Amino acid sequence: MKKLILPLAILITLLTACGKKNCCILPQTTYMVADKNNTQWSADPSSSNLRNDTIALFGSNFSTQLEETLTLQFKASATGVYSLKGNQALYYNTVGRDVITSEYGLDDTYANTVNITAYDKAGKVVTGTFNLKFKHTYPVDKPASLQFLNGKFKAALH
């Protein structure tokens, strides 16, 4: 009987250690992935935010020599498919995170879309998919176009 008291006390301590209701909830995982010109691409969407009724998704990849940022900004209040045009999406490369070395704007001849599949307004988390095509705008020595197809994201909005 004495041999069971210590393990039982440890078990009770472990089970009751979390006094707060949410202490054991793991943080949400966020991501942004796509097929960029038929190559797997990923970025960190941690800078994404919500301003009034506009969702601003910022996917950044600074882990390689070619620093990449994909931005999408659109008005959304619920789940659904949203068409993007003009300057609602942009892809660019930087050096030192501040000097733009190339830039691509949306190709408006393509049906660029974002599909919001889940939108937790209270928790400020948005999940969805995207398909985007871009035309090269700066400088002249870069590929003429880029495409981000089969894109998926889950972002916390700050």
In a domain, 118, yes or no: yes
Which of 3, 20, 28, 13 lies closest to 123 in space, CA to CA?
28
pLDDT at position 141 is 77
The predicted pLDDT at position 55 comes to: 98
Answer whether residue 5 is part of any domain.
no
* pLDDT value for 101: 92
For residue 151, count other CB atoms closer than 10 A to its CB.
Answer: 24
Whether 6 is covered by a domain: the verdict is no
Plot region of 120 (φ>0 → left; ψ -120 to 50 → alpha; else → beta)? beta
Cβ pair 70, 94 in contact under 8 A? no
Chunk the chain into consecutive blocks of 10 residues (it has 158) and report each block's average pLDDT, rounded to whole numbers.
Answer: 55 53 61 97 96 96 91 97 98 93 96 98 96 93 89 97
Residue 19 within any structural domain of the chain: no
Q: What is the pLDDT of residue 7?
A: 53
Give me the residue label for tokens 């472990």. 14
- The range of the structural domain enclosing residue 120 comes to 27-156
In a domain, 138, yes or no: yes
In a domain, 147, yes or no: yes
Whether residue 143 is contained in a domain is answered as: yes
In this predicted structure, what is the pLDDT of residue 25? Answer: 53
User: Which pLDDT belongs to residue 26?
Assistant: 47
Residue at 13 is within a domain: no
pLDDT at 32: 98
Split into its structural domains, the chain has a count of 1
